[in-house]
Chain A
Amino acid sequence: MKNRNLKEQLQYLKYAMFHPFDGFYEIKYRGKGSALIALAILVLYGIMQCISYQYTGFVMNMNAIFQMNSISIFISALSVFLLFTVSNWTITTLFNGKGNMRDIFIVLGYSVVPMLLLNGVTVVISNFVITEEVIIVRSLQGIGVVWFVFILLAGLCIIHEYSFAVNIKTLLATAVAAFIIVFLGILFFSLMERMYYFVVSVAREMVRRIH
């Protein structure tokens, strides 16, 4: 039973890739989506970012591989999506969006699939191209990005029950919200750092006095 369920969910993933409006309607209102699959896709995307950093062909790869940090690549790839999910949710709750956080996460995860697949293809192809052919690989990547944006816009429209114009407005507001979240995050962490060093220095002072 569970197996069949997973198979069905994967079929709806494929359906959402090519028919995003219908697909996400089914996913939202008939419960055909899975947050777990979305999470798995995002994790795969993070891994794909690491792979493409290292294994993109030499002609196209401008990265300094000797200073590669796969953990930071992975985390920075995923944190963008997390940030988007949180900030889009905060904004759409204010703008009467019908989607909850799980819906947003599923839409995001599902819409990454074409980009993920095309990235995989381009990493392989990039090992067999010369400078003149780089443009082909780049346009393949471009198709992946455009596809991703299209599915994301369609999916958000469906789950929030928005018109296209409102959707764009909320996305702009999402960018502002994301900026504020990042700002607060940096503020928080720098204050925490100061507090930490304050406590540490007080503790050190005390240890010295006691001795």
Chain B
Amino acid sequence: MEKKSLLILLVFLLVFLPTRVYAADGKSYDYDGYTYNYWWNAVESPAAFQLDTVIDEADMGGIKVQGFNDVATSEDGHIFLVDTLESRVNITDQNGSFIKSLKVIRDADNKIVIDESGAQLVFNAPEGVFYQEKNKELYIADTGAERIVVLDGSDYTLKRVIKKPENMAGVSEFRPSKIVVDSADRIYVVVQSSYEGIIELNPDGTFSRYFGVNSPSVNFLDYFWKSISSDRQKEQMKKTFAPAFNNVALDSDGFVYAVTFDAAAEHMVFRLNSGGKNVLREEGNTFVIGDIHKMNLNEQSQFVDVAVKDYGTYAVLDKYKGRIFLYDFDGQLLNAFGSLGKTKGSFSMPTGITWSGDNLVVTDSALKCAYILKPTDFGKAALQASKSYYYGNWDEALVQFENILKLNANYEVAYVGIGKNYLMKDDFKKAMYYFKLGNNRAFYSKAYNGHRGEVLQENFGIIAVIFVSFITLILYTEVRYHKKESGHK
């Protein structure tokens, strides 16, 4: 009897213990992640990030929060959160502890600044913020007041105000929404729903040019109708405007990243060179379009913000399904995760994303909070591998990719990464094996080329013998045939 109950207890333990261990080992993540494979099927994957901290009103020392519209970080770990409805910029440290909130601007003598109309200089519905490391300056796009406010990066006193440049051409209104400043102090301003591109300002605040005009993709049917319609008909048709950019970011090489969610746009994410051309690499299994919509164009991802890491890995934020897509510098999707919803960690109307070290900070304009996401074990390995790969540390990348495969054996990126490592070492057979698992035809072909060369070299004698005997056979039959023919005549 006792034996039997012991047995039952043992079975009970065997059944229930593993699940409890699993739940407590820190590997059950808040988000479900996925990637796309070669055939554009979604493949489950651990999420690269999980929720670490929620920054909400309770952390803000009694300051009201309506919802954050943009976020920027500085290298010393400060996080700047823009609350448009409250017209405030709240500053926290990297763990989300409140430091300061800006609304009324003071000058260096700690006096409240008075503008030319005699009123105090206060923010009016700001929508964007950017911290420039080189000059330690905080740029705030004060949208409602149609100006850019530049503050000192350490004590947040006023440095200067940039108003609408007098020499600005075009029809766009100067209502700066999002803003970045490159290391040459050029200011790139996104004006919502402007089809003229990003406004580029000189360091002194004068207008330089429109930057990176976004080409619309033309529907074949529209093109046909337009080509046969008269001028008067054309006037009444809907015009095809260049899709507007809605957010910008800057990478370590000074390239401007921009995103759009206009359904008419040809590309969704842009990496603009100094001439304003898109040079984004899209060498992955999928194009950089977020979720793959095989049938319905209205279900495409709508990117609201992009955050670029210094080794070219970038995260784009999709407001349509509340997802974050992580791409490496090749445009290969590393991971996608997140969802819309009401539970902790899900998004309602995500607006901004930025890197804070290896963490991501995501803002939401409907939820009265911002999230700090930190990489999971899988995410850490994926980021580290991507970094080592970018800087050419092949052996380290190999170790990381092998770690990743322990966590996710369906991860094509890792197989391809390992394959590339073996290809560098001229170990063609192993490289072929991994490229096949990673479904990468281009690199498999390179590895196979090497392998084929080796085999040909090793067996040169046999091949030469076969080739020579084949030629002799042909010659022999030809000669015999002609002899027979001439014999007949």
User: Residues on A close to B: CB < 8 A?
Assistant: 58-59, 62, 64, 128, 130-132
Contact = CB atoms under 8 A, between A and B. Distances in A.
A59 B452 contact: no
Interface stretch (B58-66, B178-186, B383-391, B439-447): B439-447
- Most chain B beta carbons < 10 A, residue from A62, A128, A131, A132: A131
Contact of B452 (A62, A64, A130): A130
A131 B443 CA distance: 9
A54 to B, nearest CB: 14
A132 to B, nearest CB: 8
Interface residues of chain A: helix, strand, loop or mixed (majority):
loop
Interface residues on B, range: 10 to 19
Contacts of B452: 128, 130
A130 B39 contact: no
B39 A131 contact: no
B39 A64 contact: yes
A59 B444 contact: yes
Contacts of B449: 130
A62 B449 CA distance: 19
Interface of B: 38-39, 436, 441-442, 444-446, 448-449, 452
A130 B432 CA distance: 12
Contacts of A128: 452
Nearest to B446: A130
Given A128-B452, A130-B448, A59 B441 contact: yes
Contacts of B442: 131
Nearest to A64: B39
B39 A58 contact: no
A195 B449 CA distance: 58
Contacts of A64: 38-39
The 3 closest A-B pairs by CB, nearest first: A131-B445, A130-B445, A130-B449
20 contacts: A58-B436, A58-B441, A58-B444, A59-B441, A59-B444, A59-B445, A59-B448, A62-B441, A64-B38, A64-B39, A128-B452, A130-B445, A130-B446, A130-B448, A130-B449, A130-B452, A131-B441, A131-B442, A131-B445, A132-B445
Contacts of B39: 64
B428 to A, nearest CB: 12
A24 B442 CA distance: 45
B94 to A, nearest CB: 44
Contacts of B448: 59, 130
A50 to B, nearest CB: 19
Tell me whether chain B's interface is mostly helix, strand or loop, or mixed.
helix
A52 to B, nearest CB: 17
Contacts of B436: 58
A132 B446 CA distance: 10
A133 to B, nearest CB: 9
A132 B442 CA distance: 10
A22 to B, nearest CB: 22
Nearest to A131: B445
A64 to B, nearest CB: 5
A200 B192 CA distance: 59
Nearest to A66: B39
A63 to B, nearest CB: 9
A99 B397 CA distance: 68
B448 to A, nearest CB: 6
B467 to A, nearest CB: 15
B489 to A, nearest CB: 24
A132 B445 CA distance: 9
Nearest to B442: A131
A58 B444 CA distance: 8
B454 to A, nearest CB: 14
A101 to B, nearest CB: 40
**Most chain-A CB neighbours within 10 Å: which of B39, B436, B445, B449?**
B445
Q: Which of A62, A130, A131, A132 has the most CB of B within 10 A?
A: A130
A142 B448 CA distance: 25
A106 B449 CA distance: 43
Contacts of B444: 58-59
A128 B448 CA distance: 9
A128 B39 CA distance: 23
B293 to A, nearest CB: 19
A131 B436 CA distance: 14
B430 to A, nearest CB: 15
B211 to A, nearest CB: 37
A130 B450 CA distance: 10
A64 B452 CA distance: 25
Nearest to A128: B452
A57 to B, nearest CB: 9
A58 B39 CA distance: 14
A132 B444 CA distance: 12
A132 B441 CA distance: 12
Nearest to A127: B448
A67 to B, nearest CB: 8
B455 to A, nearest CB: 10
A208 B449 CA distance: 69
A53 to B, nearest CB: 14
A130 B441 CA distance: 9
B432 to A, nearest CB: 8
Nearest to B39: A64
A132 B448 CA distance: 12
B284 to A, nearest CB: 16
Nearest to A63: B39
